[in-house]
Amino acid sequence: MPFDALVMRAVERRWQDNLLPATCTRIQCGRDRLLFFMKSSALGAQNVLVVLQPGLQRVHRTTLKGLANTSSLPSWLAKIVPFTIQSVSVPPFERIMSWTIVITDDWGQEIKAQLMVELAGHLTNVILVDSDGVVVDAWRKFPPGSPGRTIWPKLPYHPPALPANPLATRDLFDLPPWAKKWMMAGGSWGQLERDWKAGFPGDAYRLTNRITEEVWVYPVAGYAIQTPLDVEQAFDQVFDLRERVLQEEQLRAQLISALQRRIAQLSEKINTYRISQGEDPNAWKKMGDLWLAYQHLFAGDPALTTLTVSDFDNRPVVLTRSAGQTPVDCARDAYRRYKKVKARQEALARLIPVFERELQQLHTLRETAQSESHPLDWYRTELSRAARSTLERQSRQPFRHFKSTHGLDIWVGRNRDENARLTFRMARPDDIWLHTKQAPGSHVILSCGKSVPDHADLLDAAALAVFFSQASASSQVPVDYTRRKFVRKQPHAQPGQVLYQREKTLYITPDPERLRRLGAVSEKLIDD
């Protein structure tokens, strides 16, 4: 049902004939809609719905008893309740309805005002205008200097420029689309003029053909005519279906967009991981061997930082060290890098097939969403699932979880909020709390209770604290640990920022073998 100028005129006339005067006793506010609870002297309780959402805009009596999702009513609207609607008027061939209302002020005096309901195009609005033609307030306000009309409190109200009146111009292009369709199918200007003055018939025609179904104030050639409906009752039937269809289209578009983003992210991640798989960890092992083999060449010259040597296949290799770094240090770094790359590749060998299966599932789901219609709950469910990877849906817990050497639970926060929840809600008072000293990172909890944990378990937890911190690439990183009961929130600070006492400190150099055993590499790859 197109809510065009002819339909607006039909609503206007029906209100003038059998609704008014009517007193509004309450207003309920929802997203882009208002529900007015009326008491008509002729009809008793009546509810009037005003929808300001473009594409669904309308004003009519409704069978709705309340709005599903409500919000606070703008104060300027709340202040005028109760008020009485004395009359309504609609400019010729315009979708603007003016309610002439009477408000009782704090001294019991009656004040007249206009409540303008503008439903044309995308600039839908409800505007309160006083008896002097000045804007009191509006649903949508447009300050002076903004493009288009100014709608601002204490400034004069200027209605939109009136459209051409087709009854005067006799020009088909001045008619609303459905009126033009009716006219081209055999309607006459004389009948249109008579019906406009009369306010159209009391019924709306349900029109159907093999393509679409519509409800309108005139029958149109090419459509089968079914049982007529009351013109205002038709709105509840027609727009309820239209809102569901529109909501489905919006959810489908959101889901497809989310799937496309996830597909792009996952494809990029898989490509990056495949490139990482091409790195040879043995190259780092050989580099460590070369440093040890040629360390004697650096021994006599501490200032020597770069040297070209031959590798074990007699190919030239450049050995470079930083100032203050010994060949043994360089060899140790190379061996550490060898273990790190090897652990990463072992993790990727397990993860890449999982991500590839998820990518195929995402492509299939996108095709299903594009080609088929589904219930609204299906779209909502798939939207929430699309935001998380397969691994996250299968195993993601509120915090990262690991097992220490002797089977103790180790919990690691992912972000500021998780750190705060982990430390102050989940951890027990006597659990061990760990954090890198003077370096941003995750809170870590070793769940040992009142027992004294084994040193190996403590090293596992400290290694995780370093790995999930900004000091993960450093050596001899200080990690403070203490019982959780000695940790407290830092006053007036952001979540996760704490003060602690009775701490001890471990100095940790990340060990790729320990991290691989704990599963930290795979966990970090998933989060990345």
pLDDT tens for 16-30 read 988 999 999 999 999
Same domain, 410 and 437: yes
Quote the pTM value: 0.58
pLDDT band for 526, please (50, 70, 90 cuts): low
Asked if residue 106 has pLDDT above 80, the reply is no
Closest CA to 431 of 448, 456, 409, 406: 448
Same domain, 131 and 40: yes
Same domain, 77 and 180: no
pLDDT score, position 148: 85
Closest CA to 268 of 280, 276, 258: 276
pLDDT score, position 434: 96
Paired tokens of 138: 């509006």
pLDDT tens for 258-285 read 899 889 988 988 898 888 888 888 999 9
pLDDT tens for 341-364 read 888 888 888 888 888 888 898 899
pLDDT score, position 277: 84
Give, rounded to a whole angstrom, the gap between the first and last alpha carbons of the chain: 50
Which residue is it, tokens 């053909």?
A: 209
* Distance (Å, whole) CA 76 – CA 128: 8
Same domain, 87 and 170: no
pLDDT score, position 339: 85
Residue 203 lies in a domain: yes
pLDDT score, position 485: 94
Which residue is it, tokens 């206009």?
A: 114
* Distance (Å, whole) CA 299 – CA 281: 27
Residue 250 lies in a domain: no
Same domain, 363 and 449: no
Asked if residue 175 has pLDDT above 70, the reply is yes
* Domain edge (last residue) among 394, 413, 440: 394
* Domain edge (last residue) among 138, 157, 180: 138
Number of separate domains in the chain? 4
**What average pLDDT does the segment 167-178 reach?**
93
pLDDT score, position 455: 94
* Domain edge (last residue) among 364, 394, 424: 394
Same domain, 188 and 93: no
Closest CA to 458 of 405, 421, 415, 494: 405
Residue 332 lies in a domain: yes
* Distance (Å, whole) CA 174 – CA 101: 31
**Residue 167, number of CB atoms within 10 A of its CB:** 15
Same domain, 377 and 411: no
Asked if residue 300 has pLDDT above 80, the reply is no
pLDDT score, position 523: 57
| Average pLDDT across the chain, whole number | 89
Domain of 9: which CATH number? 2.30.310.10
pLDDT score, position 394: 42
pLDDT tens for 466-503 read 999 998 888 899 999 999 999 999 888 888 889 999 99
Coil, strand or helix at 165 = coil
Residue 483 lies in a domain: yes
The CA-based dihedral angle spanning residues 394, 395, 398, 401, taken in that order and rounded to the nearest 10 degrees = -170
Same domain, 507 and 518: yes
Same domain, 73 and 121: yes
Paired tokens of 190: 């004389």
Same domain, 273 and 390: yes
pLDDT score, position 90: 93
More confident residue, 71 or 398: 71
Residue 73 lies in a domain: yes
pLDDT tens for 381-411 read 888 877 665 545 444 567 889 999 999 999 9
* Distance (Å, whole) CA 30 – CA 47: 15
Same domain, 310 and 437: no
pLDDT score, position 223: 87
pLDDT score, position 119: 93
Coil, strand or helix at 7 = helix
Residue 153 lies in a domain: no
Residue 238 lies in a domain: no
Residue 158 lies in a domain: no
Per the CB < 8 A criterion, the answer to whether 479 and 502 are in contact is no
pLDDT score, position 393: 44
Host domain of residue 173: 166-231
pLDDT score, position 6: 92
pLDDT tens for 123-147 read 899 999 999 999 999 999 999 988 8
Same domain, 102 and 178: no
Q: Reduced to 3 DSSP states, what percent helix, strand and coil does the chain have, rounded to the nearest 5?
A: 40, 25, 35
> What's the DSSP call for residue 445?
E
pLDDT score, position 395: 46
**Cis status, amide bond into 82, omega within 30 of 0:** yes
* Distance (Å, whole) CA 153 – CA 26: 23
